[in-house]
Every structure is written in C-alpha cells, then in structure tokens.
Chain A
Amino acid sequence: MTHLTEEEMIQQAYGEGENTAAVERHLEACPRCAMAFTELKRDLAEIERIEAPPRDTRYGVSVWAAIADALPVYAPKPRSGWAGAFAALWSSHRSGLWFKGLGYAAACAVLVSSAFYAGREWQKRQQQPAPVAHVEPKPQAPRQPIVVVVLDDHLDRSERFLVELKHADLDSSGMVSPLREEARSLLAANRVCRKNVAKTDDPDLTTALDHLDSLLADAANEPGGLNAKSIAELQDKMNAEGLLFEVRVLRTRIGHRAAEPDKGGTI
C-alpha cells in the first residue's frame, strides 16, 4: 500500500486535494495515514489566526488624509477625430452609458411616435361627436424614496458647493457672489434636512449636517460679504473638518438607499 505523502495530507486538510475521494478512501483503509492526518489537522487547528488590532470606523478617513496630498490629479485625456469618437463610444459602453444612451434614444422615438399618433387621434375626434368620458383610474405610482432622494440631492448640491469653495479663486470677485447666494439657498435646505435627520438614529449624518450648517451660515452671513480673507477662513474650516470628504462618503451611502425603494422611509 502506498501511503499518503505529507503534501497530499496538507492539501487535503485545506480542502484542496486533487483526488479527495481517493484520499478519503485511503484514510478509511489505512490506520497509519489516518492517525497522521488526524495529528496534522489537530496541529493546524492549534495554530491560531493572528487577529489584527481593531481599527475604528474613522481609520479609512485617516489613511486618506495621510495620502491624499501625495496623489496627483488624473487629467482627462480628450481625443479628436474618429479615434476620439470611437474612444468615447467605447468608454461610454464600458461605463454603461452606451446602454443609457440607447435607452434615451428609444424613449425619444416613443415620445415622437406618441405625439404623432395623439395628434392624428385628436384630429379625428374633432370631426366626431364627443363620446362620454370614461376616466380610468391612474395606476398608483410605486412608492418612491422621496425624502432620501431629496437628501441625496441636497448632499450633491452641497458637495458641488464645497468643491467650488475649495477651488475658489481668492482674487476673483466674480466667484464670490454666486457662492454666497448658493450658501444661502443651501442653508435653508440644510435646516430642513437636519430636522428630518434629527428624527433618525444616524449620528454620522447628523454631525455632517451640523458641520455643513455651521459652514453655510458663515458663508451666507459673513458681515460685509465674502472676500479673500473670509474665503480662506471658510476653506480652512472646511479642510479642518474634512467636510467635503464627509459629504462625499455620506452621499455614496445615501445614494445606495435612494436606489433601494424599500428603504425609502428610513429618513
């Protein structure tokens, strides 16, 4: 009888045997190999897994903060001519936009056809006596996660505002006025969102909206309007609190919920 090698046993113990059934049969028939295999499994079971020290939920944020400055920005590569068109088409295909584009085209075609058909029907009816109106009850639209979508939209706008603030040209007065107007608009929306979020148990979201509220209030109510100094202060405040990043993370999370109608009423 040919006994099993240690390699075969190790492979078997990790569930990667090449001929598991044959090895099992051999183990049943051969007490010597069976004993060796039992010892091997015991030895392996006794080697404990190394448990990594726990990292809190902010760990990823701290990693990002540590490396962000060292990363260059990828520049989008525009192409021209047929090559560019093909690349754009391929790129949109890869990202799913190709299918979206097809969808939009189909929707437009349906819309145009419907309008044409409706126009013809209307013409015919103008020539006939009006029938008794029979109104079909409208099918009820599926329940939409309206509040979540609104919050998602708010975070989206806030993110864009923060990006503009981050890149605001301190010497350009043309950028300052729209920023202030947007801050005022966002401030009102943010307060509504905070009120809704306060009813839920979501400390991360609550904290982020509180930070946002503070920043927006400063931007909207700066005495004498925004200037280079106040913009720089707002940028410092935003960076110190990691607000842009916080908003991005929350938006990703909320976006998930918005895509899941059954979770629509959670906020």
Chain B
Amino acid sequence: MDMNDHAAIQAVLAGDKDAYGALVIRHSQTVFRVAYRITGNEADAEDVVQEAFLRGYRKLEGFESRANFGTWIYRIAVHCALDSVKRRRGDQDSRVGDANDPELDQVQVADQAAGPERLLLSGEISSVQLAALHSLTATERTAFVLRHMEDRTTAEIGAALGIDPNAAKQAVFRAVQKMRRRLAPLRVTT
C-alpha cells in the first residue's frame, strides 16, 4: 500500500480531518472516470465521486491497513455508481432488453434517417453504442464497463459489485450478447 495513503488515513483517524483531502485529490480522477463510464452522465458521475468519498470517510475505521486505498475507494465508487444507475432507471434488473426498447427505437429511427454510412463516418455510432449500453440492466452495464473498458477481471468485478465471480461472469456474458445483438443491424446495413 502506498505509504502516503496509509499515513493520511492514520492522520484522519487521529482527528486530522483535512488529511483526507490528500486522498481525495489523489484518487478523484480515477473515481470520476469509472463513475462516468458507469453512469454515462457527467452530473451523476460528479455526485457519485462525492458520495464515494463521503462513504469512504465514514467507513475509514473499518479500512484494513494492508489493503490498497485506491482499490478500496474504487469499489465504493462502483457501488455508488451502480446505485445511481438503479435509482435513475428504477428497478430494471429484471428487465430483459428487447426490440421494443423505446430508447433504442429512437436511435434506430435516427439511424434510418441518417443512413448507416453517415452514421459510421460521423461517429454517431458512439451514440448507438451508448444507447445499447443503456439498454442493459444496471448490473450488466456495470459489469460490462468494468470488463470491457476498465480491464477488470471477473473476480475483481464480483468483488466490486459484491456478487459471486460466476454471477459477475454471467453478467458480462449477457451484456456482450445484448450489445452484439443491438449493434448487429448497423453492421448488416454497411
């Protein structure tokens, strides 16, 4: 573990609240990045960053001194981001994405109007990808982001989400399958 993080935590627990600021400064960029990738929204990501550091501070007494603070706060941030997505979208974990997804329909209409070539060339494919990501359940989306964009192993994803590694693996599988299914029409038409 980074000695500076360790020293800062000791100082905070000894009553020096301001020492926590050094930890916030050091890790806020990483936390923001993962929060943004999971929430897909700048304002929500900002909230997640603050909430993660607040939660981290309150749980600091339970922090294992041999653990890595960066990894620890990262996991808290993933939890916060997942909660944020769930709150925003309601309980959608039971939802199965299908062709009637209004969000995707909207994108598909736009695709038809613009034409697939233009889509690919103008970079609008990114927005289709984002819509496809939004069509996933909160857990699938988070697991996929952690696997595909943050290069986390399924074991790490399981730990971050507080679920069994097998469940994390299944969430990644389902996410990949849905993403491919939703992005397939773009490829067919090109």
What residues of chain A have their CB less than 8 Å away from a CB belonging to chain B? 6-7, 10-11, 14, 16, 40, 43-44, 46-50, 52-53, 55, 59-61, 63-64, 66-68, 70-76, 94-95, 244-245, 248-249, 252, 255-256
Contact = CB atoms under 8 A, between A and B. Distances in A.
Contact of B15 (A16, A68, A73, A95): A73
A14 B25 CA distance: 32
Interface of B: 4, 6, 8, 10, 12-15, 17-22, 24-29, 32-33, 36-37, 40, 42, 45, 49-50, 53-54, 57, 60-61, 65, 126, 129-130, 133, 145, 147-149, 153-154, 169, 172-173, 176-177, 179-180, 183, 187
Nearest to B21: A64
A64 B24 contact: yes
A60 B24 contact: yes
B180 A256 contact: no
Nearest to B148: A47
Contacts, number: 114
A67 B54 contact: yes
Pick from A6, A52, A68, A256 the residue with the most CB of B within 10 Å.
A52
A67 B53 contact: yes
Pick from A11, A14, A95, A244 the residue with the most CB of B within 10 Å.
A14
A94 B65 contact: yes
Q: Is the interface of A mostly helix, strand, loop or mixed?
A: helix
A44 B176 contact: yes
Contacts of B12: 74
B57 A71 contact: yes
Contact of B17 (A44, A52, A74, A249): A74
